[in-house]
Chain A
């Protein structure tokens, strides 16, 4: 499974846009890129998923360059409630269906 690398932590202020980049140099052809969010004392929660180019939903946008060796999660206008750990996961091809979590990025949003 592709290994991912993300910043350990990031700080931001309310109302700002936050971009978290994840490296996954060994991504396989069939792999999807998935981002999860985790609040303290809760299980991870799915945010967004993509394969290439750009994906947008009501929560975030995901930008994936053509080589797919990295991806960027973009959170528009963050609020205090966006303070959480964000995980970038790569995988889930037809052969391996389990997620592999890295260390995640701890985002702290200040007022």
Chain B
């Protein structure tokens, strides 16, 4: 069974440019999460999808970040325009029905974003 896949693995862009990160969750997982770790900081929650709906986007830092999950399958996270402080590793995770407490989440390898 394929795990959570993220693309690209690395991205280097200039300040002001746009970058789109993609996450393919495990097939059948309705719950999809985005997290990120900026340099020297903890892994922070960004948002949570249940199928195609945003269940919780309280962790999104500002309106330069836009997440979508069309059709409830893969998800994209767009940063536009990118700023230096957006550099970090962006992780995606998926899990089965989130209404079941204590559900295990499966993480992707992450996308390392560097804004220069």
Contacts and interface: CB of A to CB of B under 8 A. Distances in A.
Interface of A: 30, 32, 34, 41-46, 49, 51, 87, 92-94, 96-104
B56 A101 contact: no
Interface string B80-116: 0000000000010101001101111111111000000
Main secondary structure of the interface of A (DSSP, over half): loop
Given A49-B104, A92-B103, A98 B109 contact: no
Contact of A43 (B44, B59, B107): B107
A96 B102 contact: no
A30 B101 CA distance: 8
B102 A101 contact: no
Nearest to B97: A97
A44 B45 contact: no
B42 A102 contact: yes
Contact of B108 (A43, A51, A103): A43
Contacts of A94: 99, 101
Given A100-B45, A101-B44, A103-B42, A42 B109 contact: yes
